[in-house]
Amino acid sequence: MSEKIALYGFERSPPVRAVLLTLNALNLKFEQITVDTRKGEQYSEEYLKKNPAHTIPLLEIDGKYISDSHAIIAFLASKYGKDDSLYPKDLYQRAIVDQRLHYETGVVFQEVMKQRLRPLFLCELPQAAADEAIKAVCDVYTVLETYLNQNKYMAADHLTIADLSLLSTVTVMDLVVPVVAEKWPKLSAWLVKLKQLPYYEKANTKGLKELKEAFKPALAKYKI
């Protein structure tokens, strides 16, 4: 009997889409359950029993729960991968993947997207602060460009979960600061290549389109 997999989340969330990309990359069947953080559904009594940290995404497998997108995608790749390409068993190669994921958590998502881009999205920043937010995005792009100077993909010469996870955040930042080939040629080529994944449209575009609409007032207000 196959295990029952359920993903709790909201597709506008990049971490949720990172898990969606991984589930689809592994060709896994799963139930998708909406937890709309705009409505505070992550604080419901039922959800808090499953995830006391009240975060999304949350993965359920036969009554067991895993939170945090990076923990989830590492688990999925380790358990269901046909080989270890998505999450290498070699400790050095795995450490490189982990480092990329930690960089995404600490810098890309927490510092740049939540602390800088979210206030911009809410039109709460003066132009000078908006300029700093744009600079922070460009700095991330430059770091990722350097990673791609070292490997064909973010952490190796093949696709890993680091690529799938960063794809979910880079595509959001690209809405605000386009990844232009003149400045970041390898990052631009990487983005084009990953958008050609057979499951990209299914796993990443719905939430991204909603964010694009939501960003329009900010992009009209600020000089970007």
pLDDT band at residue 124 under the 50/70/90 scheme: confident
Contacts of 157 (CB under 8 A, 6+ apart): 151
Name the CATH superfamily, with its identifier, for domain 5-80. Glutaredoxin (3.40.30.10)
Residue pair 20/204 in contact by the 8 Å Cβ criterion: yes
CA torsion angle 114 116 119 122 (round to 10): -80
Mean predicted confidence (pLDDT) in 86-115? 97
Please determine, for residue 71, whether its predicted confidence score (pLDDT) is greater than 90: yes
What is the structure's pLDDT at 60? 98
Spatial separation of the C-alpha atoms in residues 215 and 220, rounded to whole Å: 9
The percent of residues in the chain predicted with pLDDT above 70, rounded, is: 99
Please determine, for residue 219, whether its predicted confidence score (pLDDT) is greater than 90: no
What is the structure's pLDDT at 144? 98
Q: What residues does each domain of the chain span?
A: 5-80, 91-221
Mean predicted confidence (pLDDT) in 206-220? 90
Mean predicted confidence (pLDDT) in 121-132? 87
Mean predicted confidence (pLDDT) in 201-217? 93
Residue pair 68/75 in contact by the 8 Å Cβ criterion: no
Pick the CATH number of 91-221 from 1.20.1050.10, 1.10.10.10, 3.40.640.10, 3.40.50.920: 1.20.1050.10
pLDDT band at residue 1 under the 50/70/90 scheme: very low
Spatial separation of the C-alpha atoms in residues 169 and 31, rounded to whole Å: 23
Residue pair 10/189 in contact by the 8 Å Cβ criterion: no
**Fold identical between 5-80 and 91-221?**
no
What is the structure's pLDDT at 175? 95
